[in-house]
Amino acid sequence: MRFPNVAPGGALEAVIVNTAGGMTGGDRFDVDIAVGEGARLTVTTAAAEKIYRSLGPNTAVSMKLEVGARGMLAWLPQETILFDRMRLRRTIEADLARGAQLIIAEALVFGRSAMGERVARGQLFDRWRIRVNGALVFAEALRLDGTIAENLAQRATAAGGAAIASVLKIPASDADLSAIRASEGEFAGEVGVSALNGLALARLVAADGAALRRDLIGVLTAFGAAPLPRLWLN
């Protein structure tokens, strides 16, 4: 972990020195973060994570996030870049005390467009479970298996986009939705946002990782996640 200097009174910023060189089948990476009562923490990664081709076993990534009462956690890793024939299984588990705050931004890039890469085939399983005071408030699972490029090309999925992201905020209000919708004409890709039972969820689809990063900065700013980690802005 690295801790860059932050302005007085701001949230502590932590940078995880992740693998950077990349992960492949059989590798496992676990992250466990606990924020105490009344504490404020923003966590990012030093570089984009890369998931390479697997000859059979899954690459496993597990994240456990815990936030105490009146605490705040912003989990803002840089994007995960997926390579052709990768096999990634990722789980995100978050437990919040009553009155805690959480922002999660997770981005997936299917090949580096600038280098002519595409993910023709592979397997992705992404599972999220978020609890507040022990009660499950958000649960979803994403699965892409087999001909990933063909699936992403479908209009009902990504309409040819090669980069997707989800941003979850708890608690949230109608003002969060209004701030994002007011910026609708400024996004490079497609951005949709909805809210239910005190949480807000934004979905992003873009042509490539660069466009997605720009849109993510806009969404996170609208959600009040500023100041963003300096690595996001370099």
CB 167 within 8 A of CB 105: yes
Cα 68 to Cα 95: distance, rounded to the nearest angstrom: 9
Quote the mean pLDDT of the chain: 92
Using pLDDT thresholds of 50, 70 and 90, give the confidence band for residue 232: confident
Domain annotation covers residue 6: no
Residue 1 lies in a domain: no
What pLDDT does 8 receive? Answer: 64
Q: Is residue 4 part of a domain?
A: no
Report which DSSP code applies to 113. G
pLDDT confidence of residue 79:
95
Residue 2 covered by a domain: no
What beta strand segments (E) does the chain contain? 12-16, 28-35, 40-45, 49-51, 59-67, 72-75, 80-82, 87-96, 101-110, 122-132, 135-146, 163-170, 190-196, 199-206
Range(s) of the domain holding residue 151? 12-233
- Domain total in the chain: 1
CA distance 75 to 93: 12
Q: Tell me the pLDDT tens digit for each residue of 27-53.
A: 999 999 999 999 999 999 999 999 999
Q: How far is C-alpha 66 from the geometric centre of its chain's CA atoms? A: 16
Pairing relation of β-strands 28-35 and 59-67?
parallel
Task: Render pLDDT for 92-111 as a digit per residue (tens, 0 to 9).
Answer: 999 999 999 999 999 999 98
Q: Would 146 be classed as within a structural domain?
A: yes
How far apart, in whole angstroms, are the C-alpha atoms of residue 106 and residue 77? 7
Helix (H, G, I), strand (E, B) or coil at 186: helix
User: Please, which residues bridge with residue 15 across strands?
Assistant: 2, 44
pLDDT digits (tens, 9 = 90+) for 56-79: 999 999 999 999 999 999 999 999
Per-residue pLDDT, averaged over 77-99, amounts to 96
Query: Can you give the pLDDT at residue 226?
Result: 77
